[in-house]
Amino acid sequence: MRLRKVAVAVSCMCALSACSWNRAEVVLAPSNKVAADSTTRDNALVNLTLEPIQAEPSTLPATTLSDLRDQYHALMPMVETLTEQPSTELAWQGELSQDIRNRLADIEMLLAEEAQAEGTTQPADGNYYTVAIEAYEALLATEQSAATPLSPLAKENVLYQLARAYALQGDDQQAVQYSKRLLKQFPHSDFAGELYFREGEYHYNNGNYPAAITAYEKVLQAKGEVTYAYALENDTFYAMSAYMKAWSHFKLEQYSRSIDAFITMLEATLATQTYAQAHKPIDELGLSEQKLVEDALSMTALMFRSQGSADAIVDYFRFAGEKPFTYLVYDTLAQKLLDDSQYRDSARVYLAFAQEYPLHESAIDSFIKHIDVYIIGDFPSDVLPAKQRFIEAYGINGPHWQGFTAEQFTRATPYLEQYLQELAQFEHSLGQQSIAALTELQAEATVDAERQTYLIETRDQAYALAERWYREFIATFGPGEKVADTQFFLAESLYEIGRYAAAVAEYEAFAYTFIDHPQASDAAYTALLSLTELAKEPASLALNDQASAMAFTPLQRSQARFLQYFGDDPRANKIGMSLAQSLFDAQQYLDAMTWAQWLLARDIEPDAQQTARLVLAQSQFEVEDYAAAQGNYQILLTLLNSQDPLHGELTDKLAATFYQQAQQALASAPVQSDPSMPISPERAQALRSAVSQLLQVIEQTPSSAIAVNAQYDAASYLMLLSDWQPAIDLLVDFEQRYPQHELTRSIPERLIVAYENSQQWLAASARLITLWQSDKASEKGREALYLAAEYADKAGAVDIALPHFRTYAHSYPSPLAQANAARYTLSEYYRESGEDSKRRFWLNKLIEADAQAGSERSNRSRYLAAMASSVFADDAFYAFKRIQLTLPLQDSIQQKRDAMQAVIKANQNIIDYKVAEFTTKAGYRLADAYASLAQALYDSERPEGLDALALEQYDILLEEQAYPFEEQAIAIHESNAQRSWQGLYDEWVAQSFAALARLMPAQYNKQEQQTEVDYGEF
């Protein structure tokens, strides 16, 4: 181990000037103090009046350590003499004495080291350091009695040198004691690292490994906050402490901690201060450091091996983080396993490194080594999977391809080229063997189903892998001559497995790459034939259907390519026809049109011309070029016999062109957002154009399937244009022409609308009756019957309207409003015809309906009930008026009173409805009834045989009987008249005022007097 040496001054002059190499403090005489007398000045070492002198360089003679020691010894008497002088002038002489003794001890230490190193002049006891130790201990012993104690730096140096001297002399225990003493007094000493290390060495050599670990740990902690590079440069004990700490843990079987310590030692030893290197190269270290690093790597590998090899080392560095030398640890472990013939474990370690650090500069080498280990260990079943892993990691489809540096790319590609070819050829060969085995198996009388399944699975897997590796090789190294054979092998393998579509693609790649080859067109045509057969397979058809919506199918693309490159080939017309037809079938209409026109421009057979034109017309129709399609359809129809099955289909297509042109016309003027607004001129013109096209359908293709819709739509558009009669004619014709068609069911309603708008009320009524008869129980049927009655009424056809209203009133009591309207209309019809009993039947229905209305009761129902009740009140009043008071009076007056009660009840019912119009009439009628009763009493027949006095008394009696009725009449008239105060003044209120004028002229028959005023009089 290295020992720290102390430099010693080589000149006596250094001692005289009091300079100290061991960092002792120096106190100089005050420079500004002048001596008090001449004697003192003469003795002073400092003369302040010295003249400037010329200093010339000179060379001191070499002085040995022995001579230097002797010179110091000679100097000591003078220093001791000075020490006895008063301290007023030389305050530093005590320190100078200690400093010289310290230097003498250091010189003795150096002399002992020289003697020990040279092996000369060995003392009798064999202890070279006895004199130095005694000198240092004498310094410590005299420190307390000295005038000036040792400075801290001097004392630190003395303690350090004692510890060092004892250690060199082999007295480790005494060395440790002085070390502890120094560290106790100077815990932050620069010697701390060395002393803790020596303490650790002491404990380690004595087998006290825990104590040794503690000491070594203090060295590491002391430098814990500086970089490893700094620690290595400034403290040689840092790396050694980590190394010995690792061994101490190892002795205690603390392997994880031992690994940590070895890693720390490697970090310190291999640390570099430049970014150009991941770590310091081992061969640049000293031999001793190389040995320590190799030992640390070896021991670390040994312990990782004991903990599980690959798994252990991966887990460790995942937790601790990658180190610049991580690869060295992996490589050492893998190499040790390989040396011990543990091939699989060694390969796993190499692989683990490559997988953990795939872009490390050594990752590819590590991967290759793991493959080589399998080869060395003779594990052929593991070699190919290992090569496959390499390709999957570093191949063009791998995750690390994009991250390659130029150097890594150069390193990897030779292996990729080799491994891809090996893997592809192996799998291809295996697939061929499986096919051969299957053929032999199927030739046997009894087929082993289990073996057959195995062979099929093996075959499919082998060919799939062969394709994978062939394609990756092409992707990695193509395009170019290097991949030509591989591309051929790929096509062969695909063909052998029955994957014809993929095989064709590879064959075509050959054909169209070498276009001038004599067999190029035949190769391309053979590919077409294969694709034609392939397209018949269900799976391929599904693929073609999926591709048709986006691009050409493989067959179409190949056909187009053939026509592009080999258009002069005799087979081109046939291929073009197939292509045009297939493009149309695949809904690639623009492309189908292109190739159909290409064919029509060539010299082709009539049948081919017809097919090409049909494809063109159909495609034009599909791309909504209906005008162009119309022309081609008309040409085709002239070429076809009417009995040809295609004639009917093309007729429908021609009709569809007219129909679609109508739709385009409509689309040119969008529907207005507000349907309540009148149709704009642009929209009206679009509708007329559409109608014109639809009428072409009816005229030119009446037998077409679309003629039905065309006629129906034309009628609809005419209705939108309010061309009611043409619309009606088309609808009626449609109804007669297509009685069973589903659209015919909507014709009656549309005709009703047309009849309504053209005011053909009876026709609308008849259609509504038909609608009602077909669905009487529905709300729609109910409304139809009511509308039919209304329209007949509008037409003035009472004979038609009356039975409809009557049927409605009897059949649909709800909703009340329409039922009452029907009842009222019926009562009016019967009023006009003078059929009073029938009228009163329906009037009574109005009264009953209001009484039973419940939540449906409304102001209208009350009004109609009041009106009907008023008619019946009129009847009661009329019956009351007809009864005359005749003798015997008590009989006739009873009839009169009963009739009067009927009048009162009838009119009171009217008043209860609270309908003003009929309430005033009822009030007037009641008052008139009371007045009529009073007058009837006055006018009643007198008994015969009464004398004048008796007659007078009889009259007085009648007046008394009549007076209350007359008063009642006046009161009711007044009540009725007072309604005018609330703003209600009508015919019956006026008549009440007139009656009051007759009955009470003094109050109600006053004449208004008017006086003209002349404002000039004022």
Task: Please report the pLDDT score of residue 55 as a whole number.
Answer: 61
Hey, what are 419's tokens?
């491994």
Q: Which residue has the tokens 């002797």?
A: 70
Task: Please report the pLDDT score of residue 409 as a whole number.
Answer: 86
Is 336 in contact with 301 (CB distance < 8 Å)? yes
Three-state SS at 120: coil
Task: Please report the pLDDT score of residue 974 as a whole number.
Answer: 80
- Give me the torsion for CA of 649, 652, 656, 657, rounded to 10°: 70
- Give the percent of the chain with pLDDT over 90: 19
pLDDT range class, residue 385, cuts 50, 70, 90: very high
Is 589 in contact with 555 (CB distance < 8 Å)? no
Statement: residue 148 has pLDDT above 70: no
Q: What is the pLDDT of residues 589-614, one digit of tens each?
A: 999 999 999 998 988 888 888 899 99
Q: Which residues are CB-neighbours of 176 under 8 A, at least 6 positions away?
A: 163, 198, 199, 202
Q: Which long-range contacts (CB under 8 A, 24 or more apart) does 543-552 make?
A: 543/501, 544/586, 545/586, 547/586, 548/585, 548/586, 548/587, 548/588, 549/587, 552/583, 552/586, 552/588, 552/591
Amino acid (1-letter code) at residue 373: V
Three-state SS at 24: coil
Task: Please report the pLDDT score of residue 32 as a whole number.
Answer: 36
Q: What is the pLDDT of residues 96-138, one digit of tens each?
A: 667 777 788 888 788 888 777 777 666 766 678 888 887 788 7
SS3 of 794-834: HCCCHHHHHHHHHHHHHHCCCCHHHHHHHHHHHHHHHHHHC
Q: What is the DSSP string of 728-770?
A: HHHHHHHHHH-TTSGGGGGHHHHHHHHHHHTT-HHHHHHHHHH
Q: For the residues 774-791, what does the mean pLDDT come to?
A: 90
User: How many whole angstroms separate alpha carbon 172 and alpha carbon 367?
Assistant: 51
The helix (run of H) or strand (run of E) holding residue 1018 is: none
Q: What is the DSSP string of 255-301?
A: HHHHHHHHHHHHHHHH--S-TT-SS--GGGS-HHHHHHHHHHHHHHH
Task: Please report the pLDDT score of residue 228 as a whole number.
Answer: 46
Hey, what are 71's tokens?
């010179």
Q: Which residues are CB-neighbours of 508 under 8 A, at least 6 positions away?
A: 523, 524, 527, 558, 561
Q: What is the pLDDT of residues 157-168, one digit of tens each?
A: 888 888 888 888
Statement: residue 231 has pLDDT above 60: no
Task: Please report the pLDDT score of residue 617 as a whole number.
Answer: 93
Residue 834 falls in which region: left (phi positive, over 0), alpha (psi -120 to 50) or beta: left
Statement: residue 392 has pLDDT above 60: yes
Statement: residue 17 has pLDDT above 50: no
Q: For the residues 963-981, what does the mean pLDDT come to?
A: 80
Hey, what are 792's tokens?
């007949």
User: How many whole angstroms separate alpha carbon 767 and alpha carbon 747?
Assistant: 10
Q: What is the pLDDT of residues 720-776, one digit of tens each?
A: 888 999 999 889 988 888 899 899 888 888 988 998 899 999 998 998 898 898 888
User: How many whole angstroms separate alpha carbon 139 and alpha carbon 464?
Assistant: 90
Task: Please report the pLDDT score of residue 221 as a whole number.
Answer: 84
Maximum mean pLDDT: which of 210-224, 518-532, 640-654: 640-654
pLDDT range class, residue 86, cuts 50, 70, 90: low
Task: Please report the pLDDT score of residue 427 as a whole number.
Answer: 93
Task: Please report the pLDDT score of residue 471 as a whole number.
Answer: 92
Q: Which residues are CB-neighbours of 564 under 8 A, at least 6 positions away?
A: none
Under DSSP, the state recorded for 29 is P
User: How many whole angstroms separate alpha carbon 289 and alpha carbon 377?
Assistant: 34
Task: Please report the pLDDT score of residue 527 as a whole number.
Answer: 82
Hey, what are 8's tokens?
């010693």
Statement: residue 29 has pLDDT above 60: no
Nearest to 353 by CA among 339, 370, 335, 337: 370
288 C-beta neighbours (distance < 10 Å), count: 10
pLDDT range class, residue 82, cuts 50, 70, 90: low
Q: What is the pLDDT of residues 997-1007, one digit of tens each?
A: 788 877 787 66
- How far, in Å, are 7, 45, 137, 138, 182 from residue 74 at the CA level? 21, 19, 21, 19, 32
- Give the percent of the chain with pLDDT over 70: 85
Task: Please report the pLDDT score of residue 422 as a whole number.
Answer: 92
Task: Please report the pLDDT score of residue 25 as a whole number.
Answer: 36
User: How many whole angstroms separate alpha carbon 360 and alpha carbon 407?
Assistant: 11
pLDDT range class, residue 257, cuts 50, 70, 90: very high
Q: Which residues are CB-neighbours of 149 under 8 A, at least 6 positions away?
A: 143, 155
Task: Please report the pLDDT score of residue 189 as a whole number.
Answer: 81
Task: Please report the pLDDT score of residue 18 as a whole number.
Answer: 32
pLDDT range class, residue 935, cuts 50, 70, 90: confident
pLDDT range class, residue 897, cuts 50, 70, 90: confident
Q: For the residues 64-71, what does the mean pLDDT come to?
A: 77
Is 175 in contact with 166 (CB distance < 8 Å)? yes
Residue 691 falls in which region: left (phi positive, over 0), alpha (psi -120 to 50) or beta: alpha
Q: Which residue has the tokens 């493989």?
A: 554
User: How many whole angstroms separate alpha carbon 806 and alpha carbon 819?
Assistant: 10
